[in-house]
Amino acid sequence: PWLLKEMEAAAETDRRTAVRAMDRALGGHIRHLLANLSRAAFHNLTGGWFASAPKTASGEMRHWYRQLTRASASFAIAADFAFLSLGGMLKRKEKLSGRFADVLAELYMSSCVLKRFEDDGRPDADRAFVHWNLQRSLWRIQGALQGILQNLPARPLAWVLRLALFPLGRRRLPPADDLGHKVARVMLEPGEARDRLCRGAYVCMDKDDVTGRLEHAL
């Protein structure tokens, strides 16, 4: 929120006005950076237990909302530190910026999974899908953030960031095979849950159609 103000201050032609504006913008930017750092460190140290979650969410789903808030805080401070150390060079560090894109994509898709579950009325049959997707996304986010830390050129900043993002180490694991089996069983059994997953997809019951043959075989 302070970057545009800093750019405007740098472009200001009146020196006195520019110095005052830059002082305000830099002060705000530093406070924002420290607040993000404290927030990320706190949520990662406490496992996201005190992170925000919608009041309307069910008990077990509140856990996933909190974990997304926690991951979002980690993403924010990692992006702040990367921009602080690299500036405009970040755009040319394509593998590094690609990892940030991976984190953002996983946060977005996980939010979609939770919204779909809520919009469908929280069906019990879909809980396995939510748990599988969120476990996988958070595990992938952990890997992307770890890759950012390993490749951040400013090593002292990376060490500070490591303490904030992984104070207790890398503890995320991919979904267990048992959970994957539950997901596969729901997908392979004709019924309401599978119909919900196929909603909006082209499915034909004509035996002469390719998808129709698959449906009849199932």
Residue 169 falls in which region: left (phi positive, over 0), alpha (psi -120 to 50) or beta:
left
DSSP letters of 86-103? Answer: HGGGGGT-HHHHHHHHHH
- pLDDT at position 81 is 87
Distance between start and end Cα atoms, the chain: 53
- pLDDT at position 218 is 81
- pLDDT at position 139 is 97
**Cβ contact 153:86 at 8 Å:** yes
SS3 163: helix
- pLDDT at position 198 is 85
- Please state, in angstroms and rounded to a whole number, the distance separating the CA atoms of residues 207 and 218: 12
Does the global pTM surpass 0.95?
A: no
pLDDT in tens, the chain (218 residues): 788 888 889 898 899 999 999 999 989 988 988 898 999 999 999 999 999 888 888 778 999 999 999 999 999 999 988 888 887 787 788 888 999 999 999 999 999 999 999 999 999 989 999 999 999 999 999 999 999 999 888 888 889 899 999 998 999 999 999 999 999 999 888 888 888 888 888 888 898 998 899 888 88
- Please state, in angstroms and rounded to a whole number, the distance separating the CA atoms of residues 65 and 69: 6
- pLDDT at position 17 is 92
CA distances from 139 to 4, 110, 163, 173, 176 (A): 33, 12, 18, 6, 12
| DSSP 8-state secondary structure symbol assigned to residue 203 | -
Please name the residues in contact with 142: beta carbons below 8 A apart, sequence gap of 6 or more. Answer: 170, 172
Count of CB atoms within 10 A of residue 136's CB?
18
142-168: b (≥16 Cβ within 10 Å) or e:
bbbbbbbbeebeeeebbeebbebbbee
CA torsion, ordered 73, 75, 78, 84, to nearest 10 deg: -90
Residue at token pair 């809520």: 118
- pLDDT at position 154 is 84
Q: What's the token pair of residue 17? A: 């006005």
